[in-house]
Amino acid sequence: MAQTIAEFFVNNLGGKISDELICFLISLLPILELRGGLIAAKILGVGFLKAFVICYVGNMLPIPFILLFIRKIFNWLKRFKKINLFIEKLEMRSIRKADKVKKYRLWGLLLLVAIPLPGTGAWTGALAADLLDIRIRASFPVIAAGVLIAGLIVSALSYGLFGALGI
């Protein structure tokens, strides 16, 4: 799925903006995040190291804001009837993921972010950390490490193990 969406961005934005900016923008988005950005970078022929840094920064940029403001934003959005259902569904999905995190706390948060599967990643990790009242000082470095691990896994798969290592 991430590859299909990344290809959509590449096909519709390619040539209009720089390849690096496409990768950065994809990495900012929930669901796609760094994983989608790295897939797009490979499709666009962006070198591994440059792509990794751009996608990592793009994925991490919204995380402090999510950790700081997500509850306020959700509470405000719940005032709107149609959006309220979506927010409640999103919260319930995150709570189900958060239940797995509760048992191991920071290690669980790391695994939630690091394993590159659908429904995991920095956005979900930040939401789970907020729902579990894990302080920002504790959760942000764990989420950053998880994104790094996920990035290495996806890089090994998309760039090839030796290509990702620069060998």
Q: pLDDT for 55-77, tens place per residue? A: 999 999 999 999 999 889 888 98
Measure the CA angle with vertex 115, ends 60 and 30; round to 5°.
40
* Angstrom distance (rounded) from CA 53 to CA 13: 21
DSSP 8-state code for residue 14: B
Task: Please indicate, yes or no, if residue 114 is contained in any of the structural domains.
Answer: yes
Task: Please indicate, yes or no, if residue 32 is contained in any of the structural domains.
Answer: yes
pLDDT at 85: 86
Task: Please indicate, yes or no, if residue 158 is contained in any of the structural domains.
Answer: no
Q: 102 and 127: one domain?
A: yes
**What's the N-to-C CA distance of the chain in angstroms?**
29
- Domain residues for the domain of 147 are 63-151
Task: Please indicate, yes or no, if residue 136 is contained in any of the structural domains.
Answer: yes
Q: 54 and 82: one domain?
A: no
Q: 31 and 100: one domain?
A: no
Q: Which helix (H) or strand (E) holds 79?
A: none
Q: 51 and 121: one domain?
A: no
Q: How confident is the model at residue 1 (pLDDT cuts 50, 70, 90)?
A: low
3-class DSSP state for residue 17?
strand
Query: What is the percentage of the chain residues whose pLDDT exceeds 70?
Result: 92
> Does the pLDDT value for residue 39 go beyond 70?
yes
Task: Please indicate, yes or no, if residue 140 is contained in any of the structural domains.
Answer: yes
Q: 32 and 68: one domain?
A: no
pLDDT at 165: 52
